[in-house]
Chain A
Amino acid sequence: MADAIVAEGLVKTYGSVRALDGLDLRVPEGTVFGLLGPNGAGKTTCVRILATLLRPDRGQVRVGDIDVLTHPDQVRRIIGLSGQFAAVDDNLTGYENLEMIGRLYQLGKAQARQRAHELLERFELSDAAARPVKTYSGGMRRRLDLAGALLTSPPVIFLDEPTTGLDPRSRLGMWDVINERVRSGTTLLLTTQYLEEADRLADEVMVIDHGRAIAQGTPDELKRQVGGERLEVEVAHTAELETVRGVLEKVCGETASVDPEVRRVSVPAAGGVGALVEVVRQLDTAEVVPLDIGLHRATLDDVFLALTGAATTQRKGGDQ
């Protein structure tokens, strides 16, 4: 299978900040690639370079086998971009926004009209088509922006944090839309701060930090690396920590980590709910009553803890 997106040795600096520090990536045609990382990791910079908006200081970029740096005009004909902030015009109606984008993709009048109506239908915005976008909800604006990126059915699509800022329900809706209506046949590169999102949408995930790739694999491989679900137990007395650690390590067969400050012990739990039940049983026998006990799905923080030993919180600076 040919690669639809190839980037080699991308470097981009802003003053003394290295937004991208030698990033390589390859996305095979027809697959979904997730770029996962915290704020400021370089995700947006990477997408802006791939989508012809920004020139890297160093490196090679090819999209659809066209050199992005020497032939950006040709690349723009085969890509769709939906950025971090829904770039739709508030004063135009949903229909007018899409029709305008169609005209600027150099579609004829009739074709631009027809595609606008089709896309509004497909993204369940037909009822709101004649309303100015300023009356739309956040989720509707995102869907409209996404519809704009798909207007000409481009073979390569870039989505920069498609669900950031949406409430959980709109986020689920957006995932459905992307899974059902975007991914079929197209090559999709999306960035996200949420491990769960990458898991739901991507075939292959790359974790980046400080402009460099720190891990890559399928979502399952990554989760395995992180330990997937973790079992956590919090107790009232520091004296009980050792007992808990013993029980957790015996049941789960993995090394547990102890945080004396919050009196919490946690361990990777491949056994899921079964392991949880067994741990409860054994703690009961040992006469330890936990304050809190539960299974926790791996988060981006867990990925970072596992990969770099540093949490993503307490980082400063916005996205570059």
Chain B
Amino acid sequence: MNAVAGALHDGWVVTKRNLIKIKRVPDLVIFSSIQPIMFVLLFAYVFGSAIHPAGVNYKDYLMAGIFTQTVAFGSALTAIGLADDLSKGIVDRFRSLPMSRAAVLIGRTTSDLLNNVLVVVVMSSCGLLVGWRIHTDPLRAAGGLALLFLFGYAMSWIAAVIGLSVRSVEVAQQAGFLWLFPLTFLSNAFVTTDGLPAALRAVADWNPVSSVALAMRDLWGNSAAGFGRGSGFPANHPVLMAVLWSAAITAIFLPLSIVKYRRAASR
């Protein structure tokens, strides 16, 4: 218990340090918001003009997908931030202090989670402007957001492993983003998976991004019975799958990143 309390205390100190950076370098939030806003506008009007799903407004369908993609991309910040701290020797300083070994990772993932919240707030306003609406109650609305941030937090731990493996900020920038394109596009985030070849379709339907997006749509009344659900177990239990995916990712990558942190920093 003592170790957990220590990790939380020290993790919060490091979180505050990272948040100060968001405050001092506001360009960072501004630019990490511009891309999702751009995506909302482009997809809503370009794809939206071509795709007319039966029973649901495409803008309603789209927003859950873009939210999911955005928090996934937000995880790249974790990779970049950790690579930066390692290369500047700040991690060495931290490791020579009598503080929790998990604090740097907890602090990084927590501040990136808060950054994600900030970006999602900006995007929601944009979505509301172009005509997206949540059609259910506040409880379900909050439930959808909770699933979204849980998934973003889980993704941060994958990114942590990447950032600690590459150790250079430039490589982290590339490696942290690259894999996110297939991950987010090979899903139901923007269009239905129904038209994909069978093998790809299975991948897309079991993609955690699909489950998270579908879960949010269901919770927000943004989904239509026949459109973009995919098939099989994930199509019928998106909320369960979203929770399981996030839990599984965290369970694998959190301990892995702590092991990586110890090794990376002691080279």
Contacts and interface: CB of A to CB of B under 8 A. Distances in A.
B42 to A, nearest CB: 32
A78 to B, nearest CB: 9
Contacts of A73: 98
B178 interface: no
Interface stretch (B20-28, B56-64, B192-200): B20-28
Contact of A51 (B24, B88, B90, B96): B96
Contact of A77 (B25, B92, B94, B98): B98
Contacts, number: 70
A85 B89 contact: yes
B266 interface: yes
Interface residues of B, number: 24
Interface in B69-110: 88-90, 92-99, 103
Contacts of B52: none
Q: Which of B89, B97, B265, B266 has the most A CB atoms < 10 Å from its CB?
A: B97
Nearest to A148: B93
Interface in A278-319: none
A21 interface: no
A84 B20 contact: no
A303 to B, nearest CB: 28
Contacts of B98: 73, 76-77, 104-106
A9 interface: no
A81 B20 contact: no
Contact of B93 (A54, A55, A81, A91): A81
18 contacts: A52-B95, A53-B96, A54-B266, A81-B92, A83-B89, A83-B92, A83-B93, A84-B89, A86-B89, A87-B93, A88-B90, A91-B21, A92-B20, A100-B14, A100-B17, A101-B93, A104-B10, A148-B93
Given A52-B95, A88-B90, 15 more contacts: A53-B92, A53-B266, A54-B266, A73-B98, A81-B93, A83-B92, A85-B88, A87-B93, A89-B90, A100-B16, A101-B97, A104-B10, A104-B97, A104-B103, A148-B93
Interface of A: 48, 51-55, 73, 76-77, 79-81, 83-89, 91-92, 96, 100-101, 103-106, 132, 145, 148
Interface of B: 10, 13-14, 16-17, 20-21, 24-25, 88-90, 92-99, 103, 265-267
